[in-house]
Structure 1
Amino acid sequence: MARKRKGRDISGWLVVDKPAGMTSTSVVNKVRWAFNAKKAGHAGTLDPDATGVLAVALGEATKTVPYITDALKAYTFTVRLGQATNTDDAEGEVIAQSDLRPEDDEIKAALGQFVGDIMQVPPKFSAVKIDGQRAYKLARDGEDVELAARPLWVEELLMTDREDVDHVTLEMTCGKGGYVRSIARDLGQALGCHGHVRELRRIWSGPFDATDGLTIEQIDEMAKQPELDQYLRPIEEGLADLPEVKATPEGATRLRNGNAGMVIASDVDYGEECWASLDGQPVAVGTFKAGELHPSRVFVLPQE
């Protein structure tokens, strides 16, 4: 018999403004503890030294995590020119240097090659798996890590500031799986001067914005208090990129049992993925076919 997980049956999203020096997993554990929640997860890892939006899903909201992971995200980051490191950020060892410093116009001209559909090689110190092992573990053990290039959609990459001759600040909007450290490394190579990330902040992720995020200090202050619950955002915010259809009462009952159920849809095409609601509550995510939703994920909420 499976052990029953302890904690509250609470569901929703919490936007956290992650501080530097804390892992994404540590943030999730902190949020789970603060809410005394049974289940929690996050949508999109941030490096320990990165700050900004970490969207944490509680309970049934964890079923919508893939839709936030797949959504567009925006980052602002500072590149240190003239130095390459083995980790592609400021925490690593400097492995190459250059006295060359490109002009602003040269930097702006080089950014174009990193916009659109590009192929990107993840950093050697990353969580990408190689034969079942994390690349960063192999790299720390001194192994020569070779990672294959992966496709990435970059919607926008802009130069927003030039602090001094050694530093340039960029803002990037991209799709799933983007490594800012790789952009800094490859930009430095393209400019012939090397480069690595000095600072990195995720300013928004899908529907979630850093300006709405709670700090770890705020979470600690309100931990296990009723006032913390008011910052929990609805499950359906994780479904913002999917069209909504309305389930009939009978259809909702069928959907909750894992069967196709009748829904009312207006601007949804046959075979399109969407989500169904009843009385403002999410019921299921699935595929729309001939007036019915065929569920792939079903939400089981306490009030049901």
Structure 2
Amino acid sequence: MGRRKKGRPVHGWVIVDKPAGIGSTQVVGKVRWAFDAQKAGHAGTLDPDATGVLAVALGEATKTVPYVTDALKEYRFRVTWGAETSTDDASGEVLRTTDLRPDRTALEGALTAFRGQIEQIPPQVSAVKVEGERAYDLAREGVEMDLVARPLWVERLDIIDCDSDGAELEMVCGKGGYVRSIARDLGRALGCLGYVAWLRRTWSGPFDAAAGLSLDTLESLARTPELDAHLHPLELGLNDLPALPVTELAAARLRNGNPADVLAGAEFGETCWAAHQGRAVAIGTYRAGQLQPSKVFQT
């Protein structure tokens, strides 16, 4: 007989407006404790000094995390000119400085190269794995790494405000973007150097910081029925995928891992999710009137 999991079988999403000074993993731990949930994860790490939306998945919602992680995200941040740091943000050691400062025209011209499909090298202090170890652990040991450039889709990168000391920017990008790398590389391109002074993720896929729960509220409502009002359905994490309705019989087949007929069509080979009475049953691939399940939900 298997060991019983600790906690409640809670399923859904919790939108947290993360404050500065706490890591994403710590936030996930607080949410899991507050809901007394058996299982938890998150869709996209935020740096400890960053603020904004951190979407925490509980229970079966963790199966939808990859689809939220792949979605577009919006960041608002300020780049300070005149210095480069070891972490590419304000928390790091200053490595070099310059008195050069760009004007708005130069900044607008430089931003062109940072839109569309670009390549970016992650910061030395990042969660990227190097030979099985996290880059931030190696960086703390004084190891300097030659990190490999990674592709990034930048949907939009605009100036919100700028002055002689820096600029406030807004960026919409795909999976795997490092705002600190944007600040560092933009400063180098302009010849003035730069680092992130502050950073806020305003939305991520279907989740918006404006609807986020503060940690103070989370802690004040912890382990109470009132907290469950802040739990969003797991289906919210599937917003970007087509929903295909199924019958009760088909839902049962899918939950057992078997292909089943759907009541609507999609593109052949497209990833979709099966819905019965509005609830997610499975995620899979659509082929010739059927869904071939790859993940099933037991809620």
Q: TM-score, normalised by structure 1?
A: 0.97
Q: Distance in 2 between matches of 1:148 and 1:256?
A: 41
Q: Distance in 2 between matches of 1:2 and 1:27?
A: 29
Q: Distance in 2 between matches of 1:83 and 1:71?
A: 32
1:51 — aligned with what? Answer: 51
Question: Offset of 1:3 from its aligned partner?
Answer: 2.9
Q: Distance in 2 between matches of 1:39 and 1:151?
A: 31
1:270 — aligned with what? Answer: 268
1:84 — aligned with what? Answer: 84
The one-character-per-residue Cα deviations of 1:181-201 (angstroms, maximum 9, x if unpaired) are: 000000000000100001000
Letter in 1 for 2:202: I
- Where 1:264 maps in the other structure, the secondary structure is coil
Letter in 2 for 1:240: N
Letter in 2 for 1:299: F
Q: Distance in 2 between matches of 1:186 and 1:47?
A: 18
Contact kept in structure 2, 1:122 and 1:182, CA below 8 Å: yes
Letter in 2 for 1:271: G
Please say which of residues 257-266 and 149-158 is displaced more in the overlay.
Answer: 257-266
2:294 — aligned with what? Answer: 296
The one-character-per-residue Cα deviations of 1:64-114 (angstroms, maximum 9, x if unpaired) are: 000010000000000010000011000000001010110011111110100
Identity of aligned residues (%): 61
**Which structure 1 residue ranges, 4+ long, deviate > 3 Å from structure 2?**
none
Unpaired runs of 5+ residues, structure 2, are none
- Where 1:156 maps in the other structure, the secondary structure is strand
Unpaired runs of 5+ residues, structure 1, are none
Alignment of 1:147-226 (within 5 A): 147-162=147-162, 164-226=163-225
The one-character-per-residue Cα deviations of 1:248-269 (angstroms, maximum 9, x if unpaired) are: 1111110010000111114x11
Alignment of 1:16-165 (within 5 A): 16-162=16-162, 164-165=163-164
Q: Distance in 1 between matches of 2:14 and 2:229?
A: 10
Q: TM-score, normalised by structure 2?
A: 0.99
Contact kept in structure 2, 1:263 and 1:293, CA below 8 Å: yes
1:286 — aligned with what? Answer: 284
Q: Distance in 2 between matches of 1:141 and 1:198?
A: 24
- Where 1:49 maps in the other structure, the secondary structure is coil
Q: Distance in 2 between matches of 1:48 and 1:5?
A: 30
Q: Distance in 2 between matches of 1:157 and 1:269?
A: 32
Q: Distance in 2 between matches of 1:294 and 1:30?
A: 36
Contact kept in structure 2, 1:250 and 1:262, CA below 8 Å: no
- Where 1:236 maps in the other structure, the secondary structure is helix
Question: Offset of 1:145 from its aligned partner?
Answer: 1.1
Q: Distance in 1 between matches of 2:177 and 2:3?
A: 38
Q: Distance in 2 between matches of 1:71 and 1:184?
A: 22
- Where 2:230 maps in the other structure, the secondary structure is coil
Question: Offset of 1:38 from its aligned partner?
Answer: 0.3
The one-character-per-residue Cα deviations of 1:131-154 (angstroms, maximum 9, x if unpaired) are: 001111111111121100000000
- Where 1:230 maps in the other structure, the secondary structure is helix
Q: Distance in 2 between matches of 1:2 and 1:28?
A: 25
Q: Distance in 2 between matches of 1:293 and 1:65?
A: 20
- Where 2:262 maps in the other structure, the secondary structure is strand
2:253 — aligned with what? Answer: 254
The one-character-per-residue Cα deviations of 1:167-219 (angstroms, maximum 9, x if unpaired) are: 21000000000000000000000000100001000000000000000000010
Question: Offset of 1:271 from its aligned partner?
Answer: 1.3
Q: How many residues were matched structurally?
A: 299
Q: Distance in 2 between matches of 1:7 and 1:217?
A: 22
Question: Offset of 1:4 from its aligned partner?
Answer: 2.1
- Where 2:110 maps in the other structure, the secondary structure is helix
Q: Distance in 2 between matches of 1:187 and 1:243?
A: 38
